[in-house]
């Protein structure tokens, strides 16, 4: 039958998680924690349901939650935002991104993404009828090349999608990148989606660069966040978009017909949870740093080379030194590890329009210590076994 996305299959995350479950593999692929959430959050969800918060929430979000978010943004960026006009609760960050794209671009427009790009951006842009222009981040450190962006911009360009901390490369915007972006779009009607879902997971040596903290970008940007990531509960599917009122109005025109409203009890529970635990996000970076260090320490004796990770709860590894995998493309390498080592990983080529020749896999370390030890031990065994063979 006719397909609007003939080249799109099931996302690599779902494919890898399903195969990992079938094969009983250790799942270091799809990004989700395997440790429990704070029990208090669960209690608050139950309380909210018992108290009767079970009907449609207001379309833009539960005011209590919008206000709790505004309070945090005030503390972090000194923004006196009107939550009613600037903050929209969405079905995870994915919906925020999808609805914003549908609201801002259409036939005849171009939107720029940076490869490796999170896999939802390109299809969302094409479903909106716009052309998606892919610009590679510069290896080996996955940096933005603003001259290249300037050269790609024309009168049809309407949108640029940035992502920092970056999934899947684990890089973080440098000081100066946002200034460069602001300069590149200056004087043009170009909007920015800034996917900042890993905002709290930035490691020593880097700082989170938010469009909300940038005077030149804030007025034309939609910043996107995820409570699933920040609260270790990817299944709650509550995210939000922060944007100036005019952009928020447009975004909500789509949001109201896309997901309409987001699960009411979760919104109440999160609002109260943030009230009770105002410091909940401050320890996230050190919490994940310990896991990052554990995983890279465990892999150190192997032939997998661990690349520097500046942010996110992912880690790239280069397998070109691993005798059994060298020469394989990344999808074959990931399949080989899944089937022969019993470890699921995420190859990078699905995040590119034109995958370069490289040997990188993404591992998720938002996992219990036992999971990381078992995953690493399987990788080391495979490595030792196959380099002898
Ligand atoms: N964000 C998650 C990751 O990068 C995946 C979410 C999904 O499966 N769509 O692994």
- Flag whether pLDDT at 181 surpasses 80: yes
| Last residue in a domain, options 226, 245, 276 | 276
* Residues 319 and 231 reside in one and the same domain: no
* Residues 322 and 347 reside in one and the same domain: yes
User: Domain for residue 4, yes or no?
Assistant: no
Return the DSSP state at 258.
Answer: H
Q: Is 108 left (phi over 0), alpha (psi -120 to 50) or beta?
A: left
User: Domain for residue 1, yes or no?
Assistant: no
Total count of domains within the chain:
2
Is the distance from the beta carbon of residue 30 to the nearest atom of ligand 1 less than 6 Å? Answer: yes
User: Domain for residue 110, yes or no?
Assistant: yes
Position 389 scores a pLDDT of: 57
- Tell me what percent of the residues of the chain surpass a pLDDT of 70: 99
User: Domain for residue 299, yes or no?
Assistant: yes
- Residue bearing tokens 């959430």: 37
Average pLDDT, the chain: 97
**Distance from the alpha carbon of residue 384 to the mean position of ligand 1, in angstroms:** 30
| Last residue in a domain, options 254, 276, 298 | 276
Q: Which of 11, 19, 30 has the most ligand 1 atoms within 8 A of CB, as the residue to mutate? A: 30
Using 50, 70 and 90 to split pLDDT, how confident is the model at 109? Answer: very high
Q: Which of 8, 12, 13 has the most ligand 1 atoms within 8 A of CB, as the residue to mutate? A: 13
* Residues 206 and 324 reside in one and the same domain: no
Query: Mean pLDDT, to the nearest integer, of 301-310?
Result: 96
**Distance from the alpha carbon of residue 11 to the mean position of ligand 1, in angstroms:** 9
- Flag whether pLDDT at 315 surpasses 70: yes
Q: Of ligand 1's atoms, which has the minimum distance to the CA of residue 364?
A: 10
Q: Could you give the C-alpha distances from 102 to 126, 189, 388, in angstroms and in order?
A: 9, 16, 53
**Distance from the alpha carbon of residue 215 to the mean position of ligand 1, in angstroms:** 31
* Residues 290 and 272 reside in one and the same domain: no
Read off the CATH number of the domain in which 186 is found.
Answer: 3.40.640.10
Domain containing 310: what range? Answer: 12-30+283-388
* Residues 196 and 306 reside in one and the same domain: no
Q: Of ligand 1's atoms, which has the minimum distance to the CA of residue 31?
A: 10
Q: Could you give the C-alpha distances from 51 to 45, 46, 264, 289, in angstroms and in order?
A: 10, 9, 11, 38
Q: Is the peptide bond before 140 cis (omega within 30 degrees of 0)?
A: yes
Query: Mean pLDDT, to the nearest integer, of 117-131?
Result: 98
Burial of 48 (0-12, 13-18, 19+ CB in 10 A): buried
From edge to edge, which strands make up the β-sheet containing 314-318?
Answer: 305-306, 314-318, 360-364, 346-347
Q: Is the peptide bond before 160 cis (omega within 30 degrees of 0)?
A: no
27-56 pLDDT, tens digit per residue, is 999 999 999 999 999 999 999 999 999 999
User: Domain for residue 3, yes or no?
Assistant: no
Using 50, 70 and 90 to split pLDDT, how confident is the model at 388? Answer: low
Using 50, 70 and 90 to split pLDDT, how confident is the model at 192? Answer: very high
236-269 pLDDT, tens digit per residue, is 999 999 999 999 999 999 999 999 999 999 999 9
**Distance from the alpha carbon of residue 216 to the mean position of ligand 1, in angstroms:** 30
- If you write DSSP's letter for every residue of 134-160 in order, what string do you get? EEEPBTTTTB--HHHHHHH--TTEEEE
Say if CB 341 and CB 378 are below 8 A apart.
yes
DSSP-derived pairing of the beta strands 360-364 and 314-318: antiparallel
Is the distance from the beta carbon of residue 312 to the nearest atom of ligand 1 less than 6 Å? Answer: no
Q: Between 264-276 and 63-77, two packed helices, what is the crossing angle to 10 degrees?
A: 40
Say if CB 303 and CB 321 are below 8 A apart.
yes
User: Domain for residue 318, yes or no?
Assistant: yes
* Residues 292 and 264 reside in one and the same domain: no
Find the DSSP H helices in 243-283: 245-258, 264-276
How many residues are there in the chain? 389
Helix and strand tally (H, E) in the chain?
Answer: 14, 13
* Residues 357 and 225 reside in one and the same domain: no
Q: Of ligand 1's atoms, which has the minimum distance to the CA of residue 29?
A: 10
Is the distance from the beta carbon of residue 169 to the nearest atom of ligand 1 less than 6 Å? Answer: no
Say if CB 59 and CB 255 are below 8 A apart.
yes
Say if CB 310 and CB 323 are below 8 A apart.
no
Read off the CATH number of the domain in which 365 is found.
Answer: 3.90.1150.10
User: Domain for residue 6, yes or no?
Assistant: no
272-283 pLDDT, tens digit per residue, is 999 999 999 999
* Residues 185 and 272 reside in one and the same domain: yes
* Residues 154 and 227 reside in one and the same domain: yes
Q: How far apart are the first and last CA of the chain?
A: 47
* Residues 208 and 331 reside in one and the same domain: no
Which of helix, strand or coil describes residue 223? strand
- Flag whether pLDDT at 321 surpasses 60: yes
Which residue's C-alpha comes closest to atom 2 of ligand 1?
31
| Last residue in a domain, options 256, 276, 296 | 276
Q: Of ligand 1's atoms, which has the minimum distance to the CA of residue 346?
A: 10
Which residue's C-alpha comes closest to atom 9 of ligand 1?
13
DSSP-derived pairing of the beta strands 157-163 and 343-344: unpaired
User: Domain for residue 363, yes or no?
Assistant: yes
Model confidence, pTM:
0.97
Position 386 scores a pLDDT of: 79
* Residues 267 and 350 reside in one and the same domain: no
Query: Mean pLDDT, to the nearest integer, of 160-183?
Result: 97
Q: What angle do CA 72, 103, 166 make, to 5 degrees?
A: 50
* Residues 272 and 290 reside in one and the same domain: no
């Amino acid at each position: 039958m006719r397909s609007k996305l003939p080249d799109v299959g099931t996302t690599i995350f779902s494919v890898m998680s399903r195969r990992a479950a079938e094969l009983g593999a250790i799942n270091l692929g799809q990004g989700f924690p395997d440790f429990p959430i704070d029990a208090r959050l669960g209690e608050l969800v139950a309380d909210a349901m018992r108290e009767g918060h079970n009907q449609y929430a207001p379309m833009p979000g539960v005011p209590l939650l919008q206000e709790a978010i505004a309070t945090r943004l005030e503390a972090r960026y000194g923004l006196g935002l009107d939550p009613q006009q600037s903050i929209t609760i969405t079905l995870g960050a994915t919906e925020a991104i999808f609805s914003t794209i549908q609201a801002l671009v259409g036939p005849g427009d171009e939107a720029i993404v940076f490869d490796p790009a999170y896999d939802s951006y390109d299809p969302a842009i094409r479903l909106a009828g716009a052309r998606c222009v892919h610009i590679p981040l510069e290896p080996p450190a996955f940096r933005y090349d603003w001259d290249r962006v300037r050269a790609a911009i024309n009168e049809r360009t309407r949108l640029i999608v940035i992502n920092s901390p970056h999934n899947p490369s684990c890089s973080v915007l440098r000081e100066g990148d946002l200034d460069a972006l602001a300069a590149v779009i200056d004087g043009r009607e170009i909007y920015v989606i800034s996917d900042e879902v890993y905002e709290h997971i930035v490691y020593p040596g880097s700082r989170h660069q938010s469009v909300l903290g940038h005077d030149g970008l804030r007025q034309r940007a939609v910043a996107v966040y995820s409570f699933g990531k920040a609260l270790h509960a990817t299944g709650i599917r509550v995210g939000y978009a922060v944007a100036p009122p005019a952009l928020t109005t447009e975004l909500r025109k789509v949001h109201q017909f896309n997901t309409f409203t987001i699960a009411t009890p979760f919104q109440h529970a999160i609002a109260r949870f943030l009230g009770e635990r105002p410091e909940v996000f401050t320890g996230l970076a050190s919490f994940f740093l310990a896991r990052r260090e554990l995983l890279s320490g465990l892999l150190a004796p192997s032939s997998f080379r661990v690349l520097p990770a500046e942010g996110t709860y992912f880690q790239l590894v280069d397998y070109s030194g691993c005798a059994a995998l060298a020469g394989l493309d990344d999808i074959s390498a990931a399949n080989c590890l899944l089937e022969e080592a019993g470890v699921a990983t995420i190859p990078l080529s699905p995040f590119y329009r034109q995958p370069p020749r490289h040997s990188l896999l993404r591992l998720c370390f938002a996992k219990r210590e036992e999971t990381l030890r078992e995953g690493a031990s399987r990788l080391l065994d495979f490595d030792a076994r196959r380099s002898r063979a």
